[in-house]
Chain A
Amino acid sequence: MFWQQLVNGLTLGSTYSLVALGYTLIMGVLNIINMAHGEIFMIGAFVGLYLVTYLKVNIFVAMAGAMLASALLGCLMEMLALRPLRRRAVSHLAPLISTIGVSIFLESLALNLFGPQSQAFPTELAAVQFELGPIRITLVQIIILGISFGLMFILRFWLAKTRVGKAIRTTAENIETANLLGINTNRIIFLTVALASGLGGVAGVLVGLSFNAVEPTMGLSMGLKGLAVLILGGMGNITGAMLGGLILGIAEVFTVAYGASSYRDAVAFGMIILILFIRPQGLFGKRQGGRF
């Protein structure tokens, strides 16, 4: 049972990681918490679901579609809800509030467009499963693990090695300096928000696939978990988001497996508080600057 539960924990955790990556990217560059991330994730899940059910595309095309749609949505949010505020140099809390506004708007929109009912991906995919000794793993779980780890490593590499990645890191360090260095920071911010939202969209499809429930309010609880991971791993730290998500997922699953399921969230979040006592900057966060 131990190994099976570990697989369960890793699958759950890797979806948390993907959601947290989106938060971390925006946190790192814009220094704000994007409260609408959970809802962008939800819209991504719906776009994927509709592509699979109505256009009968395969799941990878659906993921690409969801990524594109969420990225576009992210850009719209940046243009309409974030950029106007940044220009006016308003209080630190204003972008936070405006993203809350976006999240409520998107949730209501989804309620009207897609209806309140929870919907599921076609079941053929879930039916495929493999038995490896004591472990029973479904194709969906393998896809989730593969895609989320793949995306996380690509992202890390891309940020560390490419020119655009360097530009993003510079912008994260200090927007004014980046401007002086001739980086088009507006474009970089645009790119970051699109990337973060795109990742959120993919995460939405993956979560919808594994848990079979796509509904307009799914973004809220996932968003909260993602936020917790963001803080656990260290604000704006990619490794932190990756490992933090896995830790939270495994902690939740093991609380159920070897403890009592009623304490699932209490233990997981108690552990986060404990870790923050010891490392207030988060597991991988640095005390000063130096993001990604």
Chain B
Amino acid sequence: MITMKKGLIKWFSGMTIGALLLTTAGCGGGAAPTANSGSQGGEAAKIGVISYLTGGGAAYGQAIKEGLDLAKEEINAQGKVKVDLIYEDSRGDKTEAINAINKLINKDNVVGIIGPTLSGEMFAAGPIADQAGVPIMGTSTTAEGIPALGNFVFRNALPEFLAVPQAVEKAISTYNLKKVAVMYSNNNDWAVSGYKTIESTLKKNGIEIVATETFADKDTDYSAQLTKIASLKPDAVMVSSLYQEASLVLKKAREIGITVPFVGTNGFNSPELIKIAGPAADGAIVASPWFPGKQDEKVQKFIADYKAKYNNKVPDQFAAQAYDALYIYASALEQAGSTTDRQKLRDSIAAIKGFQGVTGKFAFDEKREPVMSATVLIIKDGQFTELK
């Protein structure tokens, strides 16, 4: 017994010392000098990318990486500025995102950061970048309040509070909705924020909410919630969740005979939804800044290049927004005239106006929120088409 106690004490003190060492190391890192050496013309700008590359939402991270890689190739070939991307995998986890951002800022000494993928991760990592004075731009973070995290925090993702009402209102007018059911993932910051937007839009339009059901990320059984919803016979169901959960919800719903339209938040906006849910995805509605069917030279060229590079895959919204994000960085770097000055880069990103990307005309307002427009899409026969 005594030896065991001793062992435990040793173990605990070892842990404590280890933890102390870790924290002090972290502090030391925080005080490291910012990258401010004189800019050398030919040197590539180091941009860190934090993305959801493995785990349940890896399709998002993968699309983002593909969009960025394509943009990087093109930018470097054009030669006005050179960029270098350093990838870190956050696995959709806040703690991992914090570790990644500390590494990028203090060890890799990046000039700016793209990512993380999830809004929840951005809420954790954004303030760290802001404090260190490193510009950070989310390409897929659509929850309310992201740029409010600090002066160095940007996004080029159309926020949920602008996109979702468009989809909801369009569905209300097209299908003459009277009563709807709402479902959302209650352990995901972004999904909860999307749910609140859905709820307030419905209230504003005087639509009755017959049921509000929740689930958790990574849940697989939705039969109880959907059986309950089916018995209430709503005119439509609105879902706020990532594509994985959304597609399982759609599948189960169609299986138990719910045939009404489903309106979704940004999670619906992925070809993965169609891939997993199959025919069950038909009738799903989402507002998207990215619409591959758009008759625009820039959009069609991007799709052709992307298909050529990635095995005939059609780019999704996440690839498109990431692609635009790197171009925004490139044009800001060009303006700043330095590949290492973080403050100058931040100022020239904030000053971006009239940028033409594949997701349309783009600018930042004074709150660093994107100014852009969305198209409401519906899935028909396994394809995203414009809802008219």
Give the B-binding residues of A (Cβ under 8 A): 1, 4-5, 8-9, 11-12, 111, 115-118, 120, 123, 126-127, 129, 136, 138, 207, 210-213, 215, 217-218, 221, 252-254, 256-257, 260-262, 264
Contacts and interface: CB of A to CB of B under 8 A. Distances in A.
Contacts of B244: 118, 213
A268 to B, nearest CB: 11
Nearest to A256: B224
B56 A215 contact: yes
Interface in B253-285: 255-257, 276, 278
A234 B215 CA distance: 29
B213 A261 contact: yes
B223 A217 contact: no
A124 to B, nearest CB: 11
Nearest to B59: A117
A257 B227 contact: yes
Contact of B227 (A8, A115, A252): A8
B214 A1 contact: no
Contact of B56 (A11, A118, A212, A261): A118
Interface in B220-250: 220-221, 223-225, 227-228, 231, 244, 248
Contacts of B276: 118, 120, 212
B214 A262 contact: yes
A252 B278 contact: no
B82 to A, nearest CB: 32
Contacts of A264: 224
Given A252-B224, A253-B224, A136 B248 contact: no
A109 to B, nearest CB: 13
Given A123-B278, A217-B56, A221-B218, A253 B251 contact: no
A262 B224 CA distance: 12
A211 B248 contact: yes
Interface residues of B, number: 27
User: Taking each of B227, B231, B248, which has the highest tally of chain A beta carbons within 10 Å of its own beta carbon?
Assistant: B227
B228 A1 contact: yes
Given A126-B251, A252-B224, A261-B213, 14 more contacts: A1-B227, A5-B224, A8-B223, A9-B224, A116-B55, A118-B276, A127-B255, A138-B255, A211-B221, A212-B251, A213-B244, A213-B248, A217-B55, A218-B220
19 contacts: A1-B227, A9-B224, A11-B223, A118-B56, A123-B278, A126-B251, A138-B255, A207-B220, A211-B220, A212-B251, A212-B252, A213-B220, A213-B244, A218-B220, A253-B224, A256-B225, A257-B224, A262-B186, A264-B224
A136 B223 CA distance: 11
Contacts of A9: 224
Contacts of A136: 256-257
B228 to A, nearest CB: 5
A126 B252 CA distance: 10
A215 B256 CA distance: 24
Contacts of A117: 58-59
A151 B126 CA distance: 52
B214 A261 contact: yes
A88 B131 CA distance: 53
B227 A4 contact: yes
Nearest to A127: B255
B40 interface: no
B54 interface: yes
Contacts of B58: 115-117
Contacts of A11: 223
A257 B257 CA distance: 17
Contact of A12 (B223, B252, B256, B278): B223
Contact of B225 (A12, A123, A218, A261): A261
Nearest to B215: A261
B99 to A, nearest CB: 18
A214 to B, nearest CB: 9
A1 B256 CA distance: 12
A252 B255 CA distance: 21
Which has the most chain A C-beta neighbours within 10 Å: B54, B221, B248, B251? B221
A261 B220 contact: no
Given A118-B276, A136-B257, A212-B248, A256 B228 contact: yes
Nearest to B57: A116
A9 B223 CA distance: 9
Nearest to A210: B221
Given A8-B223, A129-B255, A211-B248, A257 B56 contact: no
A5 B255 contact: no
Nearest to A220: B218
The 9 closest A-B pairs by CB, nearest first: A211-B220, A256-B224, A253-B224, A116-B58, A8-B223, A1-B231, A261-B213, A262-B214, A261-B214
A111 B227 CA distance: 33
B58 to A, nearest CB: 4
B113 to A, nearest CB: 23
A253 B223 contact: yes
A162 B36 CA distance: 78
B93 to A, nearest CB: 12
B255 A126 contact: yes
Contacts of B248: 211-213
B187 to A, nearest CB: 10
Contacts of B215: 261
A1 B225 CA distance: 11
Nearest to B222: A211
Contacts of B224: 5, 8-9, 252-254, 256-257, 261, 264
Contacts of B227: 1, 4-5, 8, 257
Contact of A116 (B54, B214, B218, B255): B54
